[in-house]
Structure 1
């Protein structure tokens, strides 16, 4: 009676040996990855740096914090209008919508509004509604806004929160979320979590000085922002970011783990374990349990062809900026309409890649032209498009995963807000490779890459939830 059963087992093993071999190989790969990474408790070290012109002076750096005000002039506006009036438009291909980039028929509408209705002076007043400051760090004037609660409630500790933007955004991205964090009660949010918010401009962006030397990476920016928070007197603080801001905040947590009490990101840079991630993407549709994929992950990741097509379609700008940023930057720095098309096209497809099927790119579905053009104007009046693009070459010019920080994990309490239209969805299992102490992972119902700008309430609620969780409230 036992021989037929034994024969069945042998027959099954023979016919399905390939399947068992695949499972054995996958298990071995995961075991090797765990062994290699289990003891990686290294952190980034603070270093002495100088990014100003020439050699570092022998005299101590002025560490004063100076009030700053955004200003404009009649000459500045006149020059802008003259350049807009000289624009040459090329008709779009029939029914091309946003598939070839920014549709020039809709661009004419945006430019007409910019030239005839947009009030930059009014927007400057809006920019100045929050307190602006500058301070010199490592040879650069660093710009930031610092917003405190107007009436902090008694019995509740105000928590410092550093929020860092990315490209092609600016500190202005946070203007709608700031009141939700500094005055949550008035907006129906958790009254127990009150923040004072610090939003700096990355060096080379907006009103922060651009580095004068090569090699200014996300780690260099992280070190400057660590020094900024120390200069402001914060021994402990929270950090939040998306796009480059996510990577900079990750580096801050790697550099100052004892000071960072929590990191919240809405985009996750997984710059190590590339083979493991590729393998999970390749096999995860058939073995989701093996890679920790949830049903929502499968919906956002597959078919995998969709991911690869999206990466190919949306990454051309990255290759240019990671290799020869100054060339295209020269054109953008001299043509405001070209600059607007280059920047605003990202606010279309990065908000929702399906918007490329619309004649107007869906830009006004989530944003107003005043908000979009204010962000463009920050790049224009500061001539910061070229140094902002150089940030790609400094970080990616040596290849993905080439920097030391890519091999270092983040052990402080962490959170990821996964918006469904982010450029690349990051499953919780992927995020834990970088953030072992992931305390909060949230699938948001809507929203894309520019979370604070597009969905400030959803992002604020997720920040509140995360910090309330790690504070035990």
Structure 2
């Protein structure tokens, strides 16, 4: 899918070329038309299941609603729009720890901008962060000040998108964190910050725990703040522990509901990633259903349907449903929100947290302060959910500016 240097050069700002080395290669995308035709043919040939037997989404995406999305995908959706959008950005490839890492490196016009590396999660991709590049690199055009500008690095995790697929074991958040630190060093950044949600949260937290050279602090929007006594109850079922505040009770109830309805995703991919991969790699509609249903159907509620299809199509065209699922296998299906699992007590670097109301759970500040001993910023946003940067890019960008202002 990559084209040559000459094609990439036409979309790269001149200042980025100054930082290129033999280790960093420009990258652009050109999906063969045959692949898109094959995708449309597979969609048209879908064998549909029978209709759900309930009047709600408790059994999964409802047939009429989901067929409407898929019909649009097979007839009117245009992958070339997002392909052109990606190719208009400075994209690169570099090899780290024997695997190709794909990343966007969008530098601000402000030389004193703070570098930030941003990590997506599952079932997301770099598509999640495209809308925040402008507000972060050019804050003056988006209600901010030049002093809040960022140089933005957005990486595709190994096994996701255009990055290489690991051929062996061990690519867990700790190893990805070490690769990200090497990437920022290779880009020449001696001072930088990290941000992540979903799997990006344990990756960023691992960077902080490892005290990566040059890392000033992290911002996360899915904190691993569930205390051990709460996690123990959630693991076996039962009433909430005594002594919880009203907000802590609400958080407990949200996690309990999420675990009952959706924890199976992590359990299946954490134990049988290859098994589920056979289905997801062969059926685009099966892949779409697996991704679309995640997190209580949030994509259908908070994102444009073409946004959702951009992400799903990226998974399909790169055939990364199986390789992406293996991050759950690498972590034995552990939940990313358990403080003990993420070893948050070992983090001494500054941590900032934004809680979005539509997240898996609204982390109480009391739990967050117990989990992160150097919590320098805690904020509850008025809008947004699990894919916060995707859903509310301006609000998300304002949160990052506030979170890292004291570290500049």
Q: Shorter-normalised TM-score: what interval?
A: 0.7 to 0.9
Match status 1:133 vs 2:92: yes
Distance 2:64 2:254 in 1: 28
Q: Number of aligned pairs?
A: 382
Distance 1:209 1:175 in 2: 21
Tell me how far 1:442 sits from its aligned partner: 0.6
Tell me how far 1:420 sits from its aligned partner: 1.4
Asked if structure 2 preserves the Cα contact closer than 8 Å seen for 1:63 and 1:136, the reply is no
Match status 1:461 vs 2:398: yes
Distance 2:222 2:39 in 1: 34
Tell me how far 1:407 sits from its aligned partner: 6.3
Distance 1:318 1:345 in 2: 13
- What's the counterpart of residue 292 of structure 2? 344
**1:190 paired residue among 139, 145, 148:** 145
Distance 2:255 2:345 in 1: 26
Match status 1:333 vs 2:273: no
- What's the counterpart of residue 39 of structure 1? none
Match status 1:275 vs 2:223: no
Tell me how far 1:445 sits from its aligned partner: 1.3
Distance 1:188 1:402 in 2: 35
- What's the counterpart of residue 302 of structure 2? 366
Distance 2:272 2:391 in 1: 31
- What's the counterpart of residue 204 of structure 2? 249
Query: Gapped runs of 5+ residues in structure 1?
Result: 1-61, 289-294, 352-361
Q: 1:399 to 1:123 in 2, by over 3 A?
A: closer
- What's the counterpart of residue 267 of structure 2? 319
Asked if structure 2 preserves the Cα contact closer than 8 Å seen for 1:277 and 1:430, the reply is no
- What's the counterpart of residue 239 of structure 1? 194
**TM-score between the two structures when normalised by the length of structure 2:** 0.87
Query: Gapped runs of 5+ residues in structure 2?
Result: 1-20, 234-238
Asked if structure 2 preserves the Cα contact closer than 8 Å seen for 1:257 and 1:412, the reply is no
SS in 1 for 2:25: strand
Asked if structure 1 preserves the Cα contact closer than 8 Å seen for 2:191 and 2:216, the reply is yes
Asked if structure 2 preserves the Cα contact closer than 8 Å seen for 1:261 and 1:413, the reply is yes
Deviation larger for 102-111 or 321-330: 102-111
Distance 2:107 2:269 in 1: 36
Tell me how far 1:337 sits from its aligned partner: 0.8
Q: 1:238 to 1:213 in 2, by over 3 A?
A: same
Asked if structure 2 preserves the Cα contact closer than 8 Å seen for 1:350 and 1:448, the reply is no
5 Å-filtered alignment, 1:134-173, equals 134-149=93-108, 151-152=109-110, 157-173=112-128
Asked if structure 1 preserves the Cα contact closer than 8 Å seen for 2:328 and 2:334, the reply is no
**1:112 paired residue among 71, 75, 85:** 71
Distance 2:405 2:171 in 1: 35
Deviation larger for 258-267 or 275-284: 275-284
Asked if structure 1 preserves the Cα contact closer than 8 Å seen for 2:228 and 2:339, the reply is no
Tell me how far 1:63 sits from its aligned partner: 5.9
5 Å-filtered alignment, 1:435-454, equals 435-454=372-391
- What's the counterpart of residue 210 of structure 1? 165
**2:175 paired residue among 216, 220, 224:** 220
RMSD over aligned CA atoms reads: 2.4
Tell me how far 1:107 sits from its aligned partner: 1.5
Deviation larger for 240-249 or 398-407: 398-407
- What's the counterpart of residue 122 of structure 1? 81
Tell me how far 1:458 sits from its aligned partner: 1.5
**TM-score between the two structures when normalised by the length of structure 1:** 0.76
**What whole-Å deviation, never above 9, does each CA across 1:25-64 have from its counterpart, x for those lacking one?**
xxxxxxxxxxxxxxxxxxxxxxxxxxxxxxxxxxxxx961
Distance 1:305 1:74 in 2: 48
Tell me how far 1:344 sits from its aligned partner: 1.3
- What's the counterpart of residue 236 of structure 2? none
Match status 1:85 vs 2:44: yes
**What whole-Å deviation, never above 9, does each CA across 1:223-246 have from its counterpart, x for those lacking one?**
111111111111110110000001
Distance 2:379 2:28 in 1: 37
**What whole-Å deviation, never above 9, does each CA across 1:161-198 have from its counterpart, x for those lacking one?**
10000000001100111111011111112332110100
Match status 1:423 vs 2:377: no
Asked if structure 2 preserves the Cα contact closer than 8 Å seen for 1:63 and 1:137, the reply is no
Tell me how far 1:399 sits from its aligned partner: 9.0
Asked if structure 1 preserves the Cα contact closer than 8 Å seen for 2:132 and 2:389, the reply is yes
